[in-house]
Chains A and B, each alone.
Chain A
Amino acid sequence: MWGCCYFLKPIDWQRLVDAIKAIARYWQINFLPGDKWEVTDARQ
């Protein structure tokens, strides 16, 4: 059963970064069953 969403990968790098940030932000503010998870930027 459908529950989430469907993204097309942007070709442009910056748009890809923005899309991943938006996805991460959305799931960070969600209340999920179980533990919360964190997103870290491996380049930092």
Chain B
Amino acid sequence: MQDNEPILLVEDDEVDAMTVRRVLRELKVSNALVHVTNGEEALGYLRDSTRPRPCLVLLDINMPRMNGIELLRIMKADEELRALPVVIMTTSTNDRDIIEAFHLSVAGYMIKPVDYRQFVETIRTIDTYWRLSRRPVATVKAASAT
């Protein structure tokens, strides 16, 4: 995860989006936050080659027009997008959603904490983990070029 790459937040709830923005500011995460409100908008952003590719996608599940699982299914079937790390952030503890998300190779499934301090700790944990990891897109491109 590089500082100059944006984080894509796919979230229809304005309050939750504001909370994520506030937490990232508190944690001094310098990556830009791109916020879209449903899967369709997210796909439009991700397939627009003039937009910077995000280093991480934080994805809600229950959204209008195209929900998070539908977006995930499309992303994982798309060679250009399948390597992007997607972390689900949702209120859904539905087993079917959890199992389907992991079958679609999701990189994490987090329940949105109600408590703000817990929200901070969840985002801090995600940020630390993805800063440790090597960037997958670069790895995939390098491997396919040889």
Contacts and interface: CB of A to CB of B under 8 A. Distances in A.
Given A31-B98, A33-B102, A4 B107 contact: yes
A6 B110 contact: no
A26 B129 CA distance: 7
B102 A22 contact: no
Interface string A1-20: 11111111000000000010
The dominant DSSP class at the A interface is loop
Contacts, number: 62
How many residues of B sit at the interface, in one of the four size bands?
20 to 34
Given A22-B128, A23-B129, A30 B82 contact: no
Given A7-B133, A19-B132, A22-B128, A31 B111 contact: yes
Question: Among B82, B108, B136, which residue has the most Cβ atoms of chain A within 10 A?
Answer: B108
12 contacts: A1-B76, A1-B82, A2-B136, A5-B85, A5-B107, A22-B128, A22-B129, A23-B129, A25-B125, A26-B126, A31-B110, A32-B98
Interface of B: 76, 82-83, 85, 93, 95, 98-99, 102, 105-111, 122, 125-126, 128-130, 132-134, 136, 139-140
Interface of A: 1-8, 19, 22-23, 25-26, 29-33
